Structure 1
Amino acid sequence: MNKLRISILYSWFVRTITCFLPNHPIFMRLRGFLYSLMMRECGCNFQVSSTVILNSLSGMRVGSNVYIAPNNVFITDDIYIEDNVILGPGGVYSSGDHQFDGESFRWLPSKSKGSLIIKQGSWVAANCTITTGAILPCESVLAAGSVLNRPMHNDRKVYGGAPAKEIGEVKITSF
């Protein structure tokens, strides 16, 4: 078995043995630690909710202080999530595109168009989809229900829509 298949089995195993644990930071860190053992790289304080599905851990790189909310699905073999990122509930992250063989999309293997990158300090709101080749810049927000399917380049911006485009600026709040 290759590393990808082993990481998928390991991910299923971790999810199965920890699914009964509540979504409390202590248990989410434990889940994150267990997942990190099969990842390419992982920082500290990686928190993963119990209903997250992580397929192919072997291609994931995760920074420090990353939080993944419930019901996110990762179907990716090349994703990089930098430090201090929040992923809201219900997201789909996919680094492969299906190919058409003339009759169906079912039989040919998926084809990656590049990495999926979520840069430092960003927030992906609820029910977003991010696909292969997409980049969410530093300290940016992807608005709820958006589809990010290409690289964005301006830091501290709000992106939204399907497909996502720049719709505003991130406002700095002082205490």
Structure 2
Amino acid sequence: MAVKKLSVSDEEYKQIDKVNAENQMTLQQLNNRVNDPDQTRRLLNKIIGQPVDQSVEVRLPFYTDYGRRIIFGKNIFVNSGVMFTDLGGIVIEDDVLIGPGASLISVNHPQDPNNRHGLELSPVYVHQNAWIGAKAVILPGVSVGKNAIVAAGAVVTHNVPDNTIVAGVPAKVIKTVE
């Protein structure tokens, strides 16, 4: 996957703050009020800028740094305290489970100190029926395969093959799912 680079002088970089400010207000409404399921879904729709299917359940609090580059499939369960750093794009396919406190990160910063405040964007994909364990961290550009399991606390730095279980820091394949 290609990495998209943004400099602080790029027009797109400047537009990010505008969307971010809008979404931060909506996130506060979502996370700091008592909302019924319909209100929660309306606020999520506003944050991500598209309808969230009725089969998607998101436990609060829900965190995102941007919001507009999250794509949810159907029959997804996102537990409480999950962080979506989505400026680079995060795609969650159908039937995915995401444990509490997990982080899906699609943004990095350049190693070059002169460009450190710039952004490097690389999407994250979580494919059908995958399970991301509690407090797992999925780093930019990673694809978690179909039916794969990411163990609790794992830090995933490379793609996870279909039908495997990964664990550790950095995560490594420990087993095949049958």
- Taking structure 1 as the reference length, the TM-score comes to 0.80
Equivalent residue for 1:163, pick from 154, 164, 170: 170
Q: Percent identity?
A: 20
Structure 1 residue runs of 4 or more that deviate by more than 4 Å after TM superposition: none
1:100, distance to aligned residue in structure 2 (A): 3.2
Q: Name stretches of at least 5 consecutive residues in structure 2 with no aligned partner.
A: 1-13
Which residue is 2:140 aligned to?
132
Aligned-residue RMSD, C-alpha: 2.3
Task: Give the aligned length.
Answer: 162
Which residue is 2:151 aligned to?
143
AA in 2 matched with 1:128: A
Distance 1:5 1:120 in 2: 32
Q: Please state whether the residue corresponding to 2:166 is helix, strand or coil.
A: strand
1:26-74: CA deviations, max 9, x gaps? 63x6424422234365433222222121221211111011121111111
Distance 2:54 2:45 in 1: 10
CA contact (8 A) 2:148 2:160 kept: no
Which residue is 1:60 aligned to?
70
- Residues 1:39 and 2:48 aligned together: yes
Which residue is 2:106 aligned to?
95
- Taking structure 2 as the reference length, the TM-score comes to 0.78
CA 1:58–1:139 in 2, change beyond 3 Å: closer, same or farther?
same
Distance 2:96 2:42 in 1: 17
Which residue is 1:120 aligned to?
128
